[in-house]
Structure formats: C-alpha cells, structure tokens
C-alpha cells in the first residue's frame, strides 16, 4: 500500500508534462528529488513507469496503466482532506501560481506582442514571460526540448517531423513589406509593386538556421519574378546595428507591415499581388496551462475583431500554407 501521496503526485506531474525539468518546476522541487521519488515509486510497484532518453520521456505500459489509478487516488484524497478542512502537504501550495509560460514573440511590436498583451489582461494571475527567439524553426526546436512553450510564425514552413510534435492555431494573414534605405530608388513610392523589385537583391534571413521558414517563403515569392535572394550575412541585432548594416549594404529587407521602424529606413507595403505571411500560434503537443488558454482566446478574439483571417482577394500565399491556415482549431 502506498502511504506517501507525494510519490503519486510526482508520477502524475511527469506523466502529464513528459519532461522532468518542467514537472519539477510545476511541483516546486529539485529535479534530482523528483527523479528519486519516481525511482522509489518504481521500486515499490516493481515496474518501470517511464522510458527516458536524452531527447524525450515516455510512459511505459506500466506507467499508462498506473495513470488513471493515480488520478483517482489523489482526487479522492484531496476530497477527503477538503471535507475535514485539511490540505495535503504533499501537493504544491495552492496559493502559488503555476510555472511561468515562456512565450516567443520574435520582436516587439508585432502581432505576437499584441496577442501576448491581451492574454496578460485575460489571465492576470498567470506569468507569461516573453522570449525573443527570432524564427519559428529555431523556436520549434526549443519548444520540443522543453525550453520554450509557445511561439508564432509560419507553421507550414516547418519540417513535417517538427509539425507532428506541435499544435497550431491560425492567427493572421499578415501583409508583407520591404524595408528600404531612405535614398533607395523605390523609397518615394507609397507601395512597392513586386514587379518593381525585379533586378534587386533582397535580404530574407538566408543562412540563419533559426529562420528557415521565412527564407523559404521568400524564395517561393521571388521565384520567376527576377528578384534575387541576398546571400547569408551576420544577423543585425538592435536598431543601431541594423542602421549600420543597411548603410553599408543598401540591401532591401523583406519584412511585414508591422515591422518596427528602423533608423534611416522606410517601410513600404508590397502589392500586385499582396504577399501574405501566414502566422500561427504554435505550442508543444500535450501542453496545458492557463496562460496558453488565454493566448488562444486572445488570438481568436483579435483575429475576429481585426479581420486577420480574412484573406485579401489579391493576396498571395503558397498553396500548402493556405491549407494549413484554413484548418480547424
């Protein structure tokens, strides 16, 4: 007979998170202590409950068999103690908030930041912590590894093996733009037709392994239009570095219409057709957190009120992305 409910709570946390570090954070214990509790429970039951590799944690057949019993036992114990006005000391403190939700917003001022701000208003008791990972390909690896929870970007641009381990909610068809030096020949235009970029070399993150989905979108857009993809270059971090590189290279940069203003440049929307960057809210499969619920609600509300998922008649988007963006969520 199991006398210590702490062991079952440790098991349940790992079974739900499938990650020892996140489970330990959820229980407010050291990871080593959590591992010891799992080993002790395995010894008491005489069964291995998890398979562990350097890349993932999974329930064994014995762990899957234990899971519903563990839930029922803990629910019954909580109900019993609550009936007598007592609390289970092995459970996390009810007054403590859940662990922070780590949210990649790419860059300040974009759609992702607006969704995060609204979600914080919807869930003021949840800690939603912004991260700036820059690129969904890189963020996807971080989410799968458990170092990041949520990101935004072009889900259809990810490798299918990555997509299989993530979930997504379509957010916006975001019109694309080009960042130009102030003295560029096209800077005087209010809008830049794609045909006007013929003969230009445009930077779109080539060589940055974290933004492969963005570079791929640019290649699809430029194909057959006489627009060259700029070769790999060091990533400019911050307005001052961006200004220095722009002054040195004078290379237009592919962006979106909400891209933050940069020194000595102008941002011009692209037209004829209007290229669209498909943006989704993306998270790790199996993740549950009040902050994620708030993000999904915020994204759905902003998309609805802002018409973000109404695709323009003259909009351009790759066919595979169009199918993903029309998926139910």
Q: Which domains does the chain have, with CATH numbers?
A: 5-83 (1.10.10.10), 101-325 (3.40.190.290)
pLDDT in tens, 217-265: 999 999 999 999 988 776 666 666 666 766 666 789 999 998 887 888 8
pLDDT of residue 109: 67
Residue ranges in the chain whose pLDDT is less than 70? 1-3, 28, 81-82, 84-98, 107-109, 234-243, 245-249, 328-329
pLDDT of residue 316: 96
pLDDT of residue 94: 40
pLDDT of residue 95: 38
pLDDT of residue 97: 44
Give the residue from 265, 214, 269, 213 showing the smallest Cα distance to 239.
Answer: 265
Q: Are 153 and 106 in contact (CB under 8 A)?
A: yes
């Amino acid at each position: 007979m199991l006398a210590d409910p702490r062991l079952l709570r440790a098991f349940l946390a790992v079974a739900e998170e499938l990650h020892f570090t996140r489970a330990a954070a959820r229980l407010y214990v050291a990871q080593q202590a959590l591992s010891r509790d799992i080993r002790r429970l395995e010894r008491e039951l005489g069964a291995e409950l998890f398979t562990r590799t350097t890349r993932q944690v999974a329930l064994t057949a014995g762990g899957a068999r234990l899971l519903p019993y563990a839930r029922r036992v803990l629910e019954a114990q909580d109900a019993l103690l609550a009936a007598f006005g007592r609390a289970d000391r092995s459970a996390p403190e009810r007054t403590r908030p859940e662990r922070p939700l780590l949210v990649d917003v790419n860059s300040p001022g974009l759609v992702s930041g607006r969704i995060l701000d609204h979600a914080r208003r919807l869930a003021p008791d949840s800690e939603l912590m912004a991260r700036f990972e820059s690129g969904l390909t890189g963020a996807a690896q971080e989410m799968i590894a458990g170092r990041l929870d949520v990101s935004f970007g072009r889900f259809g641009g990810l490798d299918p093996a990555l997509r299989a381990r993530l979930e997504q909610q379509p957010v916006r068809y975001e019109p694309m733009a080009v960042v130009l030096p102030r003295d560029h020949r096209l800077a005087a235009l209010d809008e830049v037709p794609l045909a006007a970029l013929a003969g230009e070399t445009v930077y779109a993150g080539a060589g940055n392994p974290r933004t492969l989905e963005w570079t791929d979108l640019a290649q699809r857009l430029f194909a057959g239009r006489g627009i060259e993809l700029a070769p790999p270059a060091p990533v400019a971090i911050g307005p001052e570095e961006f200004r220095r590189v722009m002054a040195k290279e004078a290379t237009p940069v592919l962006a979106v219409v909400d891209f933050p203003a940069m020194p000595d440049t102008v941002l011009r929307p692209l037209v004829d057709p209007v290229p669209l960057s498909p943006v989704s809210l993306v998270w790790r499969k199996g993740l549950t957190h009040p902050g994620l619920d708030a993000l999904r609600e915020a994204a759905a509300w902003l998309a609805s009120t802002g018409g973000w998922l109404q695709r323009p008649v003259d909009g351009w988007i790759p066919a595979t992305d169009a199918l993903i963006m029309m998926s139910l969520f």
